[in-house]
Structure 1
Amino acid sequence: MAGALPPYVPSEQISLQCGSAGPKFDLDSRYWGGDIRSIFFPFEHQAARNNSVVKDSPLSAYSGQPPYSSARLSRFKFTYTFPLSAGPVFIRLYFYPATYAPNFNRSQALFSVQAGGFTLLHDFNTSATADASGSGTIYREFCLHTESGHNLNITFTPSNASPDAYAFINGIEILSMPPYLYYTSPQSPDGVAHVGSENTTHIDNNTALEMVYRINIGGQV
């Protein structure tokens, strides 16, 4: 089609398997890098101080496939740091709730996740969420805007509600996005339309977004 825009090529594309030392490929042949000694989790002394540990997943249908084959766990706060260019980014967090060790029981995973000045998840109970959805694994998806010269820090903090609470993560994906796919251009007089109304809302780039519903259009469920 004449005048069609070329396909968008993301400038940032990170697939990180947490608790892993080396690269792996999933069933779709996608590359997953490990976080051990990576630039995204660079402070091994911080990991030791915070008692952050890495564990292989218990044997299951998920344990052999990235990003679910390993996890990073801690009863203390830990942070990943991603040097990114300015613009909107898509973030997907992967969780496989399991009893990774006698002192990391499945039901004790209760934590919050902060990124870019936003609290993405608060006192997130992974096992209860997985059980309610009837799935062995869960993921959460977000969009936010990164600023030039600022790293994106993603911090996992165990809840104060329980002395045995711990935080964990199996995988992190980060992908850059077209500038105004979800956010409203400053030059645009329009915004996001309200269903059943002529009113619109501007979504500025100082807003974080979470995927709540996904609709499959034109295909099988």
Structure 2
Amino acid sequence: MENLYGNPSFSLLLFLSLHLLVVSSLYQRFSPVDNYLINCGSSDEVSVDGNNRKFMGDSVKSDSVLMCGTRTISIRDSNPDLGLSPIYHTARVFTKPSKYEFEIRDKGTHAVRIHFHQLNSAKYDVSDALFHVSVNGFLVLSNFTGYDNENARIKEYLIWVDAEKLVIGFIPSKRSKFAFVNAIEVISAPKDLIADTAQFVNGDSVENFDGLTKQALEVVYRVNVGGPKVTPFNDSLWRTWVPDEEFLKFSEGSSRVYTSGRIRYQMGGASREVCPDNVYNSARVISSSNATVPNHNITWGFDVVEGYKYLVRMHFCDIASIAIGLIYFNVHVDGHLVYKDMDLSYITNEVLSSPFYADFVVDGDSSGVLTVSVGPSSKSFPYAVDGILNGVEIMKLNNSMGSLDGEVSVEQVLKNWPRGNIGVSVALFASVCLLLTASLLMHRRRVGVKDSVAWSPLPMDISKGNLKSNNQFSCGKVECS
């Protein structure tokens, strides 16, 4: 038998094949056009996530990023935790309204992540911070402290940008307070990340919800159902997905499943940028082990705020069935049936391990809890999988005020800031004027007394006057002479 490994043609073919494989993998990896990673309060460039993402210090001059503001101070942790990412060792402090401006080359949806963490500084105690944050005209945080005793707080938003700049503003809530930030990420998102239309769940009816891409979205939950935590290192968009255990409300008869096989992405379906392999290759399922189909669902619950709409994205990938056409189940959101007899084989063109996601918009109600469920349908088979879910994302939509945090707009916040300053300045100026006026009157009164005493005619006859008074007059006259 011919030794192919010694054949130069085979070696060249092998080299080209490996080269094409590497090039192909490089092309498949998402590379955002706009990719700003800012290490606030520092002039140093630092790497994070173990994948060589470099955060540039905001003290370094840049043509693409502009920091506008007066009275900004950089602070550094005097006793940094070496186990923490270096982006949390420094911070930028703002004592007046200030902003960062980012040059945008790729118009469309952008992911914005803002990082906060406590640090030990002799200049500022970050637990005293209280401030608002705006992103491109949307108020994303109101009267925010940014403080957590142990963990970093990462606020993530998806913002549509059709201008040449994206602007992030920091506004102290009061003159006695300040704002701070440790790091900022601004990344142009893949074009398929947010579809413009979702299904609006309105009671028992489901209708189209259009214009989703133009809404400001806050990522509230990102959950890897049935699997472990997924870190930014294992996600092409550098996201974090948490396990689902703490959100499970009812899981009787459910189990977790995993696959080490390939996830088969298809055109028109979910992509790796929408959701990574590490989420689709695990799931939680409900199935029957005998001739009886279960009559209950798996249910997850998430705390939400009343008065906002929420985008619920549910990720499905059939990694549990042994053949196509064996899985049918119902999907519920907030107790409403939103998908009856879901047939993943039909949706994915009869391809197992092919991912798919569904978007629903619901109102956050007075219960303060949003639920999602999967479970058997009337078409479910015995001895088969009767429900599956791989991942869940829940995002808050801005309200009519353009806010993601309260019934207040950016315009109102900015309007109140200078008015507060002017009011204080006017009051201070008025107080100074009153003090000066009072001082002047008292001075004039004293001067008037001295003048009248000094220049009053002395009595010609001592008997007509009082000796003490004459002495006073004389003293007064002497003092003024």
Q: TM-score, normalised by structure 1?
A: 0.79
Query: How far 1:213 sits from its partner (Å)?
Result: 1.2
Query: How far 1:55 sits from its partner (Å)?
Result: 0.9
Q: 166, 187, 190: which one pairs with 2:178?
A: 166
Letter in 2 for 1:9: S
Q: 224, 239, 245: which one pairs with 1:216?
A: 224
1:126-205 aligned at under 5 Å gives the runs: 126-127=146-147, 130-131=148-149, 135-148=150-163, 150-160=164-174, 163-184=175-196, 190-192=197-199, 194=201, 198-205=206-213
2:46 is matched with: 24
Letter in 2 for 1:98: L
Pair 1:8–1:107, CA change in 2 (3 A) = closer
2:128 is matched with: 108
Gaps in structure 1 of 5+ consecutive residues: 185-189
SS of alignment partner, residue 213 of structure 1: strand
Pair 1:60–1:143, CA change in 2 (3 A) = same
Give deviations 1:163-198, integer Å, cap 9, x for gaps.
Answer: 4210000000111112242241xxxxx524549753
> Is the 2:158–2:217 Cα contact (8 Å) retained in structure 1?
yes
Question: How many correspondences in the alignment?
Answer: 199
Pair 1:26–1:193, CA change in 2 (3 A) = same
Q: 2: CA distance between counterparts of 1:107 and 1:69?
A: 16
Letter in 1 for 2:216: A
Q: 2: CA distance between counterparts of 1:179 and 1:83?
A: 19
Q: 2: CA distance between counterparts of 1:72 and 1:181?
A: 31
1:6-21 aligned at under 5 Å gives the runs: 8-21=30-43
Q: 37, 44, 51: which one pairs with 2:71?
A: 51
Q: 2: CA distance between counterparts of 1:82 and 1:141?
A: 17
> Is the 1:108–1:164 Cα contact (8 Å) retained in structure 2?
no
Q: 1: CA distance between counterparts of 2:91 and 2:31?
A: 30
Q: 2: CA distance between counterparts of 1:218 and 1:11?
A: 33
SS of alignment partner, residue 165 of structure 1: coil
Gaps in structure 2 of 5+ consecutive residues: 1-26, 229-242, 244-481
The structure that has the greater radius of gyration is: 2
1:27-46 aligned at under 5 Å gives the runs: 27-28=49-50, 29-39=52-62, 42=66
Pair 1:52–1:117, CA change in 2 (3 A) = same
Pair 1:141–1:62, CA change in 2 (3 A) = farther
> Is the 2:66–2:102 Cα contact (8 Å) retained in structure 1?
no
Query: How far 1:60 sits from its partner (Å)?
Result: 3.7
Query: How far 1:35 sits from its partner (Å)?
Result: 0.6
Q: 2: CA distance between counterparts of 1:62 and 1:76?
A: 31
1:113-128 aligned at under 5 Å gives the runs: 113-127=133-147
> Is the 1:62–1:68 Cα contact (8 Å) retained in structure 2?
no
Letter in 2 for 1:202: D
Pair 1:197–1:101, CA change in 2 (3 A) = farther
> Is the 1:192–1:203 Cα contact (8 Å) retained in structure 2?
no
Q: CA RMSD in A?
A: 2.6
1:187 is matched with: none
> Is the 1:57–1:63 Cα contact (8 Å) retained in structure 2?
no
More helix by share: 2
1:66-105 aligned at under 5 Å gives the runs: 66-85=86-105, 86-102=107-123, 104-105=124-125
> Is the 2:89–2:119 Cα contact (8 Å) retained in structure 1?
no
Pair 1:70–1:63, CA change in 2 (3 A) = farther
Query: How far 1:8 sits from its partner (Å)?
Result: 4.1
What percentage of residue pairs aligned between the two structures are identical?
25
Pair 1:214–1:165, CA change in 2 (3 A) = same
Letter in 1 for 2:115: Y
Give deviations 1:37-78, integer Å, cap 9, x for gaps.
Answer: 3325546xx55xx21110112424268633111110021111
Q: 2: CA distance between counterparts of 1:154 and 1:65?
A: 23
SS of alignment partner, residue 97 of structure 1: coil
